[in-house]
Amino acid sequence: MPKTVKINNESTNHLCGVGVTISIIGGKWKPLILWLLLQHENRRYGQIKRFIPEVTNKMLSQQLKELISDGLVTRKDYHEIPPKVEYRISEKGKTLDDIIENMCIWGIDHMSDV
């Protein structure tokens, strides 16, 4: 019998953890943000925005907040003028390294199909 998992206050049946994983890291921007933070110790908001210029400020802020809420990214506010905030991958987020790396490899291998 499938395990019932509660995601965003809705009960969902999953035969495996793929649905849970996709609900947390899925979407257009989260995997790119995670990949960037896995490659670099920390990044400021502007550096992330320059890496993904197509993302709107509103969407980037929302995606970062969700990644922080899910425990995959941490945010450090230095309380300086001008404001300085850094984002870094958390220990939990580091456990996604193999998944994100395999997504990268798969994408490179199938780039010509697009």
For residues 18 and 78, what is the distance between their CA atoms, to the nearest angstrom? 36
Please check whether residue 32 lies inside any domain of the structure: yes
For residues 17 and 88, what is the distance between their CA atoms, to the nearest angstrom? 25
Residue 38's identity, in one-letter code, is: L
Please check whether residue 12 lies inside any domain of the structure: no
Please check whether residue 101 lies inside any domain of the structure: yes
Question: What domain count does the chain have?
Answer: 1
CATH of the domain at 57: 1.10.10.10
Domain of residue 38 covers 27-113
Q: What is the mean pLDDT of the chain?
A: 89
Please check whether residue 86 lies inside any domain of the structure: yes
pLDDT surpasses 60 at 10: no
Residue 85's identity, in one-letter code, is: V
Per-residue pLDDT, averaged over 1-5, amounts to 49
pLDDT tens string 38-74: 999 899 999 999 999 999 999 999 999 999 999 999 9
Please check whether residue 62 lies inside any domain of the structure: yes
